[in-house]
Structure 1
């Protein structure tokens, strides 16, 4: 719906009610800047293609969380072994710093297609030889694909869409995150139930190959984008130069760490607290996906109207409070699901609403900034994945909620104090490290 609304160039909730079916009719109203006159799909269609590619990547990334106990049973290993592999996967986020020079050298389209092919290879390894080590290889390759795909995609949209409309455009691609739970989690649950723990990898490999073909057909070849960060050395110099990039790094890392500390153990908490089956756990995950898609829709509607910073500051504070409240809902599955819905909705608004802000911190170094943002996401999730089980074991879910609340509160403080768009905070964005 947001793709159609974006292509209309604005509109209100009245526009949303007309639905996704109108996207095709409205697609002709938007063209991508700086593209040759050769026939190229309209930008609304390109957003749909990008979202589909992200959907399959995110499905592979997110399936571990609700089904960690089932994967551990299938692999015949302790649950902590799966958590350790998730943490190892997240360490691969440092590779996002390399994706910036790759995107500059080979073009954003080539990097996105290559990322999907890399993901397909990782999944195929598990299909051919299902074991603990091939599962670990697949998780690492998935992380490498993710941290290469996302910065290139976000920079691609940032180059094409004016800042005033960028919130709507990026919110379309963020639907892939929530749909990975709404559509992906139930499918993964049924596949594991019917064919075993490795079955989802076959379908993910096939779908990621089809997504790569779709991007090849749908996206124009824009050529390379020569920026100051063409080489890794130049990328690191840019990161050292702009202090606001470091503020953004720590802000994003803390936001992700707060969420991961709870999310890494929520499947175990739900299973033990309420005795959920695989199918029911997949349904519960789909409810969380529904909350995220609501958050993405709200972010797309609100941040361009009321301002990126005011919206995400407000939802960040509410999200911090919900981390504290969630552990006290263990007495009722309905109450727990409502709390999870609210928690993940506000979290998603905070993250999705913040992406347009990140793309405008240092506009001339957009890919570098988004690569650092992706590195921060994976760094935060790595620490959270390692700390989450430990905190849960030592203090229980209540302490996990308190730790997450403190981290989210610190992140909001960093946002308020140091992070602003370049055009309203040039003094900060362009100050150099002495």
Structure 2
């Protein structure tokens, strides 16, 4: 390889090589280097890499360098000032993100996820305003999110499973291109910025398992492209009316909050909704018959609320249902016999509700899966005698 001095493009990714990466210093005209998932191990020749100043694309992710001298991102990374793409994910890296990385002002993608990086984001990191995709999830980074607040060209920001604290910057609500935001499992507090979703075509937000308070922002589904919205925190208030028109929504989790009020009929009938998780809140009122229009709904999770009334017979028209969890509510009346028409239903949890069931053979069009009707703590009236 040392004789390939004019080489500009080298892609050895997705292979099963063994042993160390060879000396790369003769390849000083390289613009593209990918060793992603290539199987290399041993000592990585960082010094030779620092000589490749023409590089615009560098991908070293998912290589087993754990037992070699590859513990930290080297300070010399700042020499690669032409880089637009830097991928160092799954490399068992530790230590801080080097301060020199702020000199890579042309970066549009930076992937550092699933390492053991620690410390704060470097001062000046917010100057990397060309960044479109930044993923440093599953590390041990800490501090406040003051630096990313300047990265207003971001389309995707993934910082989940770290130790960031403080508040979510208000500036995130002004990012016009941001479509994916995951801050799951950090130590963030205070409210979610109310303008999040006002400008951008959000498709995914996961702020779960933080210490966020206050209401659900009304505009997170304003553009109508939201697919996943996951907000398990300490939120209060009601589900905004605008969410009843969020027809793109497929996964909606607001469990383990302190939300209350009546869930609007439009929420139950969202056409693409596959999962709705409202457990451990203070919602009340009925589940309306509109739920029969939720043809994609697979998981209906409503336990530990104050829902009341009867489950509507139209629930059988939600033909994709696999799990129904409505335990510890105030439902009453008869369990709809049409529920036996749900051919995919595997779990039905009704513990703590005041309901009875009338079962006839004609109501059961398929064998219920084992456990789906067993050992449920419901007030049930099973009609004796032959099932007809």
How high is the TM-score relative to the length of structure 2? 0.20
Between structure 1 and structure 2, the one with the greater Rg is 2
Question: Where is the strand percentage greater, Structure 1 or Structure 2?
Answer: 2
Ranked by relative contact order (alpha carbons within 8 Å, sequence separation 6 or more), the top structure is: 1
How high is the TM-score relative to the length of structure 1? 0.18
